Structure 1
Amino acid sequence: MLGASEIRVGMVEDHRAPVWGIERIFEEHDDLSLVAWAPTVTELLAIVVDLDVAILDLRLGDGTTPMENVAHLTEAGVKTIVYTSGEHPALLRSAAKAGTLGVILKSAPQDVIVDAVRAAAAGREVLTTEWAAAVDGDPNLDAVDLTPQLQRVLALYASGGTSASVGHTMGLSADTVNEYLKRIRQKYVDAGRPTQTKLDLFKRAVEDGWLPIPRRNRPTS
Structure 2
Amino acid sequence: MIATQSADRISVAIIDDHAIIHDGITGWVADATAPAIGVVGTYENIEQFDLGDSSADVIVLDLQFGTGAPQLASVADLCKRGLRVIVFSQHTASHIVMECLDLGAVTYLSKAEGRVHMLAAIQAAGTDQPYLSPTMAKAIAADDSTKRPDLSEREKEVLISWFQTESKELVGKRLFITEGTVKTHLGRIRTKYANVGRSAPTKAALVARAIQDGLITVDEL
Q: TM-score, normalised by structure 1?
A: 0.66
Conserved 8 A contact 1:144-1:191:
yes
Do structure 1's residue 111 and structure 2's residue 116 form an aligned pair?
A: yes
- Which letter does structure 1 place at the counterpart of 2:19? R
Conserved 8 A contact 2:130-2:207:
no
| Structure 1: segments with no counterpart, 5+ residues | 162-180, 216-221
**What RMSD in Å do the two structures reach over aligned CA positions?**
3.9
Conserved 8 A contact 1:26-1:33:
yes
Residues 16-35 of structure 1: per-residue CA shift (max 9 Å, x gap): 21211101112213621112
Identity %: 22
Offset of 1:56 from its aligned partner? 1.0
Offset of 1:73 from its aligned partner? 1.4
Conserved 8 A contact 1:53-1:80:
yes
Do structure 1's residue 131 and structure 2's residue 136 form an aligned pair?
A: yes
| Structure 2: segments with no counterpart, 5+ residues | 162-184
Partner of 1:144: 148
- Which letter does structure 1 place at the counterpart of 2:23? W
**Aligned mates of 1:206, 1:117 — CA distance in 2:** 21
Paired residues in the alignment total: 190
Structure 2 CA distance for partners of 1:142 and 1:59, relative to 1, 3 Å:
farther
SS at match of 2:128: coil
Query: 1 or 2 for the larger relative contact order (CA 8 Å, sep ≥6)?
Result: 2
Q: TM-score, normalised by structure 2?
A: 0.66
Do structure 1's residue 13 and structure 2's residue 16 form an aligned pair?
A: yes
Alignment counterpart, residue 23 of structure 1, candidates 14, 26, 44: 26
Over alpha carbons, which structure has the higher Rg?
1
Do structure 1's residue 87 and structure 2's residue 92 form an aligned pair?
A: yes
Residues 167-193 of structure 1: per-residue CA shift (max 9 Å, x gap): xxxxxxxxxxxxxx99x9465342133
Conserved 8 A contact 1:158-1:198:
no
